Amino acid sequence: MNDTRTHLEAQRHCRSLCRAVERLEGAELERLGHWGGRLAEVLTAGGRLLAAGNGGSAAQAQHLTAELVGRYREERPAYSALSLHAETSSLTAIGNDYGFDEVFARQVAAHGRPGDVLMLLSTSGRSPNLLSAATTGRARGLRVWALTGPLPNPLAEAAHDAVCVDGATTATVQETHLVAVHLLCAFFDASVADARRPGRATAARNGVPRDGVPSAAMGGAP
């Protein structure tokens, strides 16, 4: 009887994940594509991605930065991306001296530069240390993006832009975040490859990319 119940719960979990991924595909692909293009502009120009999360979301954030410093699929240059929760000595020192709510914000103040991207991941969208990081990031001129669970949540409101996963459970949201991370990496790689094509590079040096849009207009508002 217990095995049957476990099997049914597993089926429900799989179906819930399928529905969440379908909603991500329907509602957020365009946004993730825009993020990939914007991130490519920032990183290829010498900017940096800072990322942070707690628990499982920390692992997802570190997965993202590893794909950028290493590679996702095709060979390409390495790009600057840091997971703030992986800085263990800084994390513990800041937590000890300033409190856990400041462990990411103080690192954003130290490492972030105007125009950089700050990616914050949270299944609840309510973690005080991520909200503090978002506030500091905006004040320092970083572009703040959030990967969260269902709306409404404070982190989505604090960020410049957010992908909010409508999942039934924390596990489903977290699993769908991994799909979003991989999609973002795919869009990033495609944008980098496009920018490195000879025709695109020549046009960009003249201030007009291949698609005819002046380069100053491509990124939109910060």
Contact by Cβ (8 Å): 105, 135: yes
| Sign, CA torsion 57/62/67/69 | positive
Q: What is the pLDDT of residue 153?
A: 98
Q: Which two tokens stand for residue 197?
A: 């094509």
Q: What is the pLDDT of residue 26?
A: 95
Per-residue pLDDT of the chain (222 residues; tens, 9 = 90+): 468 999 999 999 999 999 999 999 999 999 999 999 999 999 999 999 999 999 999 999 999 999 999 999 999 999 999 999 999 999 999 999 999 999 999 999 999 999 999 999 999 999 999 999 999 999 999 999 999 999 999 999 999 999 999 998 999 999 999 999 999 999 999 999 998 887 654 444 444 343 333 333 333 333
pTM: 0.87
Q: What is the pLDDT of residue 200?
A: 57
Q: Which two tokens stand for residue 56?
A: 């499982």
- SS3 helix, strand, coil % of the chain, rounded to 5? 60, 10, 30
Q: How many CB atoms lie within 10 A of CB 78?
A: 10
CA pair distance 56, 87, nearest whole angstrom: 16
Neighbour order of strands in the sheet with 161-164: 81-83, 49-53, 117-121, 143-148, 161-164
Q: What is the pLDDT of residue 112?
A: 98
